[in-house]
Amino acid sequence: MDWHVALAALSAILVLCAVVPYVRDIFYGTTRPSTITWFLWLFIQTIAIAAQFSEGASWSIVFVIADGLTIFAIFVLSVSGYGYGSLTKFDILCGFFGVLAIILWQVTGDAIIAIVFAMVADTCAALPTIVKAYKDPWSEHAIAWGFTMTAGLVGLAATERYDAANLLFPAYLAVVNGLIFFLAFFGQRRVKKVPISG
């Protein structure tokens, strides 16, 4: 088997492994996803996937697609009574950059512009969860984020094309997932877990 294919498959498996404990903790009530963040992530991920395909996707896209599927699953749970959050200025800013990414992509025909703006929009979308992971580290499943970070790094290694279209967004995802992992992981060692009543 081609090692690019094997690494792409491994990155998808790691992402799917990450969502299992995350979803389990959502049902237990210990992890509470931000509905707005996950909606915006789904929107932005779709833009990035489409832009990457338009530029000639390599095997690194497998990680991005698998991550998109897990985002969709968690978003569905978050709007089914398991999430929380309200619309903020950050959310509006994120939506603005996401729409701007699509407009600029269509006007210029440059998918790299769409990917860059998708990354900016994704950062805005991630901020509520990043802040939440810092302030309330037990509201996030650290190991799940660690799995996704690792999947991103493996996905990067799976690419056969070393260009901006195939490396930018997967690399960004590895960084932002890694940040949330470190905030939650070390935050849980800093903050005592409060038992769930009831």
The residue assigned the tokens 């260009």 is 163
- Please check whether residue 198 lies inside any domain of the structure: no
**pTM for this entry:** 0.79
Q: Are 112 and 147 in contact (CB under 8 A)?
A: no
34 in any annotated domain? yes
d(CA 192, CA 28): 18
**Can you give the pLDDT at residue 198?**
42
Q: Is 109 part of any domain?
A: yes
Using CA atoms, how far apart are residues 6 and 3, in angstroms rounded to an integer?
5
Does 195 map to a domain? no
With respect to residue 94, please indicate whether it lies within any of the assigned structural domains. yes
Phi, psi of 183, deg, nearest 5: -65, -45
In a domain, 197, yes or no: no
Question: 95 lies in a domain?
Answer: yes
Q: How many domains does the chain fold into?
A: 1
Cα 99 vs. chain centroid, distance in angstroms? Answer: 18
Residue 85 identity (one-letter amino acid) = G
In a domain, 114, yes or no: yes
Span 76-90, average pLDDT: 80
* 44-48, 50-54, 92-96: range with lowest mean pLDDT: 92-96
Interval 111-142: pLDDT, tens: 888 888 888 888 877 887 888 889 989 888 88
Q: How high is the pLDDT of residue 153?
A: 92
Q: Is the pLDDT of residue 26 over 70?
A: yes
Digit-coded pLDDT (tens) for 86-115: 667 777 777 787 778 778 777 777 888 888
Number of alpha carbons in the 13 Å side-chain half-sphere of residue 177: 27
Q: Which domain holds residue 139?
A: 3-190
**DSSP structural state of residue 81:** I
